[in-house]
């Protein structure tokens, strides 16, 4: 398939499209492929695999930019992120085997949409102090944190693979199960997002599945957007409650987007 020759105007559109997707990543630590893939396909007419590969690369660059900003504020736990990444990989493997044995699980799209919308509403209410209080005010001791983190990562990896939700579930799990403050949970989740996206990006690049020009323009927009989103998370939303409510709102919007698209989002 011949690679599209991008005009200057289309390159500008890609840059401007990359900006808000990067803001989503930096502000909430949610991968933006659910928005990127349909946008790339609409703008460039790429086949799904090529659009997904390009979106994965943009997600990786945006996650790295946001991570640097969170690290400057001390909102990153590197060793915990490595354990979460390992657990998610193993859990995703279990989820893949489960889907292979019961493929109907992956087709229950409306159920997964309801799950995302309900989770978004619950987090928004929790962030406003309406539901479940604030679990991060009573952190887990280190002796309990590490086994809890591994179990949480296995569960998130398994469910995310079955539902094809990527890293959407990780931050809520960090907050409610591991009792991490939302800012720290998001900074740590950005490491997991980067480690999850980077190998796939390199594999796709080696296969020639990336669209180079689109990747560059989208990534530039994504990096600037992610930096702004991460800065906004600390400057404009320094309160953990407000940030969690904002994360819940982002999940609601993703759920609406999933309903509108009528198919499951990609995994990154």
Mean pLDDT (the chain, rounded): 86
Task: Give the pLDDT mean for 66-90.
Answer: 95
pLDDT digits (tens, 9 = 90+) for 23-47: 999 999 988 777 788 788 887 888 8
- Nearest to residue 122, comparing CAs of 73, 176, 69, 51? 176
The single residue listed with the structure tokens 């999850």 is 196
Task: Identify whether 121 is part of a domain.
Answer: yes
Task: Identify whether 268 is part of a domain.
Answer: no
Task: Identify whether 2 is part of a domain.
Answer: no
Task: Give the pLDDT mean for 176-180.
Answer: 93
Range of the domain at 216: 12-261
pLDDT digits (tens, 9 = 90+) for 100-141: 888 777 677 777 788 889 989 988 888 776 666 678 778 888
Confidence of residue 177 (pLDDT cuts 50, 70, 90): very high
The single residue listed with the structure tokens 């406003």 is 128
Task: Identify whether 77 is part of a domain.
Answer: yes
What is the total count of domains within the chain? Answer: 1
Task: Identify whether 126 is part of a domain.
Answer: yes
pLDDT at 194: 94
Task: Give the pLDDT mean for 217-239.
Answer: 95
Task: Identify whether 63 is part of a domain.
Answer: yes
Task: Identify whether 4 is part of a domain.
Answer: no
Task: Identify whether 267 is part of a domain.
Answer: no
Check pLDDT > 80 for residue 267.
no
């Amino acid at each position: 398939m011949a690679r599209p020759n991008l005009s200057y105007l289309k390159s500008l559109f890609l840059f401007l499209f990359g900006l808000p997707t990067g803001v989503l990543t930096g502000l909430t630590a949610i991968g933006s492929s659910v928005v990127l893939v349909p946008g790339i396909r609409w703008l460039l007419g790429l086949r799904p695999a090529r659009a997904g590969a390009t979106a994965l690369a943009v997600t990786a660059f945006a996650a790295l930019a946001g991570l640097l900003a969170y690290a400057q504020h001390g909102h990153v736990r590197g060793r915990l992120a490595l354990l979460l990444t390992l657990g998610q990989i193993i859990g995703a493997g279990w989820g893949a085997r489960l889907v292979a044995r019961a493929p109907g699980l992956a087709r229950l799209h409306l159920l997964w949409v309801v799950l995302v919308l309900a989770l978004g509403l619950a987090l928004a209410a929790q962030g406003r102090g309406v539901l479940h209080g604030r679990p991060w005010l009573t952190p887990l001791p280190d002796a309990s944190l590490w086994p809890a983190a591994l179990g949480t990562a296995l569960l998130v990896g398994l469910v995310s693979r079955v539902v094809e939700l990527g890293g959407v579930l990780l931050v809520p799990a960090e907050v409610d199960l591991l009792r991490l403050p939302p800012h720290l949970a998001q900074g740590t989740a950005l490491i997991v997002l980067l480690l999850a996206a980077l190998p796939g990006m390199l594999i796709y690049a080696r296969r020639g599945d990336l669209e180079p020009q689109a990747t560059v323009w989208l990534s530039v927009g994504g990096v600037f957007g992610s930096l702004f989103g991460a800065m906004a998370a600390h400057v404009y939303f320094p309160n953990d409650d407000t940030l969690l409510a904002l994360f819940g709102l982002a999940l609601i919007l993703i759920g609406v987007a999933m309903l509108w698209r009528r198919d499951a989002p990609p995994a990154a």
